[in-house]
Structure formats: C-alpha cells, structure tokens
Amino acid sequence: MNTQSEQRAPESADAYSTEGSYVHEGEEYTRDTAYIEDRITRDGRDGWPVEAGRYRLVAARACPWANRSIIVRRLLGLEDAISLGLPGPTHDARSWTFDLDPGGKDPVLGIERLQQAFFARFPDYPRGITVPAIVDVPSGGVVTNDFAQITLDFSTEWVDHHRPGAPALYPEDLREEIDTVNRRVYTEVNNGVYRCGFAGSQQAYEAAYDRLFTAVDWLEERLRTQRYFVGDTITEADVRLFTTLVRFDAVYHGHFKCNRSKLSELPVLSAYARDLFQTPGFGDTVDFVQIKRHYYIVHKDLNPTQIVPVGPDTAFWRTEHGRERLGGSPFGAGTAPGPVRPGEEVAPGHGA
C-alpha cells in the first residue's frame, strides 16, 4: 500500500492553472486527462479508507465536471459523510478561490485557494488545479481530482453511508452499457463542446462541430422512446449527460459556437433535460449565474470584454416535459432525496 509520502503527482510541463491553455492557433483542442488517481475505498488500498467526516469535496457549481459530483453526493445522501466546499465561479491562472466564503477562506480547510491543498501534498504539483477535488481534512492535502472515478466511488465504495432509499446509480447489471455510452458522451459531447470552443483553426472547429452534432442526433434518437439513458431509472449516465445539456443554451451555443441548434429547439433532448432538471438532486444544484460568470469572465481569449449575457430565460427549465408517458421511475425502488441542506442551497435568483 502506498503512503501519502510515497505517492507522486503526475508529471507534466503544464503551468499551474485550472484548465491549462485554451486556444492554440492552428491546433485542435486536447484536454489534459492525467489526474491524481488515488481512490478512497472501503479497504483503503491506496491509503485512503472510507471514513465519514474525514474528507471534503471541493466542487465549483460553475464547472460541469464538478456539478456531477454535487449531484451524485446529493442523490446518494452523502452530505453527512462528505462535507462540501464551494469555490466561486471565477479564478485566475493559479487556482479556484473561496471568494464566496467569509474572509475568502474555506471554513473547514482554512485556505484561500484550492491550490494550497494540492501543494500541501505535492509541493511541486505540475498540472492544473481542477475541480472536483477531494481533500483530506486532517492533513489538508488533496486526495484525488479524478472526476470520473469520484462519482463512481461515491456509488460503490461509500455504500455504508448512503441514505435509506438511495438510488442505484451504477448497478452491476448495467455497468457495461453505462461505461460504453459514457465513453461516447465524454468524447463527443462533454468534451466535444470544448473542442468546438477552443478549436485553433477553422478546420479543427468544423470537425469538432460535426462530431458534436452527430452525437446530438444519436442522443435525440436514442432518447425518443426511453425516458432515461440506460435502463428504466436514473443512472450515472444521466448525470454525466445532464451537466453538459444544462449549460448548452446558456454557454455552449454562443460562447463555444455550438450553434446548429439550441437545446430548447431539440424536442427530445430538451424534454429529457427538463425532466432531469425537475427531479430533486439535479436542478436544485444548478446555478446559472455562476455558470455564465465562469465561462464568459474566465475565458478572456474567447470573450475579451468579459461581458456576461443576461439571457437566456431560465423559465424554460420549469416547463412541462411529458416524459412520464415513456414509463420508468427516476429512483426505481428508492426514493427522492430530501430538501437541500442549509448552506448548500443555490442562491435566490440563480436557478430557474
């Protein structure tokens, strides 16, 4: 078993930034996908055993990758086991900051920047300071920022701390299919919108655009006759798709030039996304104000004026979707999560 001192950070020549460079002229956008791969498990094989109250999830509402972890934590009822730190929507080249908290410091970790948790464990950490990240509260050091694995481990390793009635988001009999669709959604949709937005040439942009909307058409057809992405209930696959869809009209359509059509113009996908948004655990984690501030202020190469759009009208998300006619039940044999915990609510006027 590795100890904390024996583990090493991934190697990279990247600067200390949250997402790395954005647009490189003449190049296709390529995401840096090397993360700290340590896992928090029941057997503690990486040196990080499941332990209620020990870890803090740091997850900015603005970020789609972090939004996933907030949704899954809430659906499974892990609020008492894993605390939540919420950086603000903007950052500089160094790090996400806790500028929304009193004194500009996370109240549990006592730090101003997430970067401090990465440096507490890896003083020469060479990669981007990304969210979501899980921090070991006693040591103040980051454990992992492997966003894809974090939510799977919430489902499979933290089962002893799930709320009664927690849904099965990663059921064993559907894992192969979930993994298959998740791979396509990640490459073509979740990351596909970024390939459009940060393309460094017309050719790269058009290729990314075609790939994205080929996948969008596939999703429209797949979801035409089934309420949820895989099986008859909400799974990890729905969570991963939702966080891109909910940002589509507010950001990706204009800011990233994904403008063949708005989500609201796609009859199947828009109804599917509204169905999820209106399900407890999804829409109540979405902060449209923070989402827009993040993309339009941080991405100065795409939006040098840093002007944040006023629209679109978010009332769309509360309109009727009609997806119940397709059958299925959002939580299967489980139940919906209860009210959002005090202190974790989306600010008034920031949702839909």
* Binding-site entries for glutathione: 96
**114 and 131 in contact (C-beta within 8 Å)?**
yes
**309 and 254 in contact (C-beta within 8 Å)?**
yes
The residue annotated as part of the active site, out of 29, 35, 63, 228, is: 63
Cα gap 193→205, rounded to integer Å: 10
Residue 63 designated active-site: yes
The residue annotated as part of the active site, out of 29, 55, 170, 194, is: 194
Residue 194 designated active-site: yes
Residue 241 backbone dihedrals phi, psi, to 5 degrees: -75, -40
Q: Which two tokens stand for residue 4?
A: 């904390």
Q: Which residues of 144-154 are buried (b: 16+ CB within 10 A; e: fewer)?
A: bbbbebbbbbb
**316 and 253 in contact (C-beta within 8 Å)?**
no
**266 and 218 in contact (C-beta within 8 Å)?**
no
CA atoms within 13 A on the CB side of 262: 10
Q: Which amino acids are annotated as binding site, given as ranges?
A: 96
How many other C-beta atoms lie within 10 A of the C-beta of residue 291? 23
| Residue linked to tokens 């990247």 | 14
Q: Which two tokens stand for residue 240?
A: 């991963």
Q: Which two tokens stand for residue 123?
A: 């003083």
Beta sheet of 133-136, edge-to-edge order: 83-85, 55-58, 133-136, 141-144
Residues labelled catalytic? 63, 194
